Amino acid sequence: MKDFRIAILGCGTIGGGTARVLLDNLEGFSRKAGRRLVLAGIVTRSPAKSARRYGIPRELFLGEGDELSPAQTAALIDRIVGSDDIDLVVETIGGDSDYLLGIALGVLGSKKHLVTANKALLSKHGNRIFEAAEKNGAAIGFETSVCTSIPIIRVMKESFVSDEVISVSGIMNGTSNYILSRMQEGGISFAEALAQAQEIGYAEADPGFDIDGIDAAHKLGILMKLAFGIDVATSDLQVMGIRDITAEDMALADDMDCSVKLICHAHRKDGRVYGTVRPMMVKRSNLLAQVSGATNAVKVVNKYSGENLLIGRGAGSLEGGSAVSSDIIFIARYGSAAVETHSPVLCDFRSLDDMEFPYNIVFDTEDVPGITGSVTTAIGNQNINIDTVGHNRHGKTTAVFSIATMPCTLAQLRLAVQEIKAKRPDILRTEPRVMPILH
C-alpha cells in the first residue's frame, strides 16, 4: 500500500504540537494506520521560529528564509492544495474568513482529506464544508475543534450512534472555568482572577473570545449538529459571558450549594431543540460543579445509556496534536470508508426565552416594607412557582435578596420584572440579575 502523505498548514500551538507528536510516533502510528505515514511538509509564516520552538527539522518547512511574506505563504498553501502528492491536509491556521473557507473547500475539491482544529470555521461554514467533503469523497476530522483532548467528537459520532441524545451540557472553555474557579475558591474579584489567568498563560491579552462565551458557543454549535443534526448560528444561541459575575454571585451560589460555571447547554424536547451559553448556578450534586481550573467537561444524557461524562484538558499543544493525530490515523486506516453523509435536520430551534429552567433572581432594592411580598406576588402572577426565598442582606437603606424558582421561562420572568417596575417603581435599585440553575 502506498505511503499516506500529510501536510500541515499553520505551525502555532496545535500545528506545532501535531508535527511534534507525529514525528515522535511515525513508526507506531503507521502500524496502527496499516500504511506508512509521512509528514511531507509544513507551511507557516515563521518557519525558523517554529522549528526551534517545537524541535522540528527546518527542512520540513516549505519556503526559504526565516520569515515568509503573506504572498509567499499563500503561494505555498496553493502548492499544497494543488499537489497530487498529498493525501491529507491539516489546517490549524484558525479563523472563519472567506480565505480560510476557500482553503478548506480547495483541499476537499482536490479530493484530499481534511483535518481541522478550526471551530470557528466549522461553526460558520460547516454545511458547505461537509457537503464539499461528501461530494468529493473526502473525509473530515475535527476532534480537536471541541475540548481538544476530550474525544467527544468520536464518541458522539460512533459510540452513541445507536442511542438518542437528550441533552448536551458542559464546561467547554478552560479560561472562563479557571477564572470562575479562582473567584469561588479564592474569594477574589473577576478582575483579579482574570489577571492571574493572563499571568500564567490561560488567558490572552485580549480575552474577549473566551470570557464573552464566543469560543464556547462555537463548540456547542458543533456538538448540536452531531447530537441533533441541527445547524444553529452562534448569534441565535443567546450567548452571555462572565464579565459581570461578582463576588456576591459567588456568595449566593455557596448559600445554595452551587458553583457558578459558564455552561454550554442544549436539549431536545417535543420536537424542539433548545440551546444557550451563559453562566449558570450548578448544583454541587451535578458532577460539572466539581470541575475546576482550566479543565473541560462534557455531559451527554442519552435515552438508553443515561448520563455520560467526559473530562479532560481543553487546551494545549501536545494535547491538541494527539487529537489531530488520532483523526489522521483513523482516516489513513479507513480511507473512503471514513467519508460521512451529512444531512441537516429541519428542526424547530428555540433560544433561552422559551427554555424552561429553574432560575435564581437577585433583587437589589430599597429597604422598605413589603418588598418581598410585592416581588413574590408579581412572580406568582406569571404562574411561576417559587422554590425558596433567600435571606435579606440589609445595608443601611438597601436590601439584597434572591428568589429561586421552579422551572419557568425567561419570558415569564421578564413579565414579572415588568410588573414589579410598573407597580412599585420605587423598589428596584438595579436590574435584577437572573441566572439559570442546573441540577
Q: Is the pLDDT of residue 351 over 80?
A: no
Q: Say if residues 6 and 26 touch (Cβ distance below 8 Å).
A: no
| Residues belonging to the active site | 219
Cβ-proximal residues to 69 (8 Å cutoff; 6+ apart), any chain:
none
Residues of the chain with CATH 3.40.50.720: 4-149+318-338
pLDDT band at 387 (very low <50, low <70, confident <90, very high): very high
Task: Give the architecture-level CATH label for domain 4-149+318-338.
Answer: 3-Layer(aba) Sandwich (3.40)
Task: Give the architecture-level CATH label for domain 356-438.
Answer: 2-Layer Sandwich (3.30)
Range of lowest pLDDT (12-26, 65-79, 127-141, 342-356): 342-356
Which three three-digit cell numbers place residue 214? Answer: 464566543
Q: Say if residues 322 and 343 touch (Cβ distance below 8 Å).
A: no
The predicted pLDDT at position 82 comes to 95
Percent over 70 (pLDDT), the chain: 99
Distance of alpha carbon 101 from alpha carbon 371, whole angstroms: 55
- Rounded to two decimals, what is the model's pTM? 0.91
Task: Give the architecture-level CATH label for domain 157-313.
Answer: 2-Layer Sandwich (3.30)
Range of lowest pLDDT (242-251, 333-342, 385-394): 333-342
In the three-class reduction of DSSP (H, G, I as helix; E, B as strand; rest coil), residue 410 is classed as helix
Question: How far separated are the first and last CA of the chain, in Å rounded?
Answer: 53
Q: Is the pLDDT of residue 270 over 90?
A: no
Mean of the per-residue pLDDT values for the chain?
92
Q: Say if residues 101 and 127 touch (Cβ distance below 8 Å).
A: no
The predicted pLDDT at position 1 comes to 74
Among 223, 226, 299, 235, smallest CA distance to 261 is for 299
pLDDT band at 339 (very low <50, low <70, confident <90, very high): confident
Q: Which amino acid is at 294?
A: A
Residues of the chain with CATH 3.30.360.10: 157-313
Among 119, 86, 85, 121, smallest CA distance to 103 is for 121
Q: Say if residues 412 and 385 touch (Cβ distance below 8 Å).
A: no
Cα 192 versus chain centre, distance: 24
Q: Is the pLDDT of residue 207 over 90?
A: yes
> Residue 19 class from Cβ within 10 Å (0-12 exposed, 13-18 middle, 19+ buried)?
buried
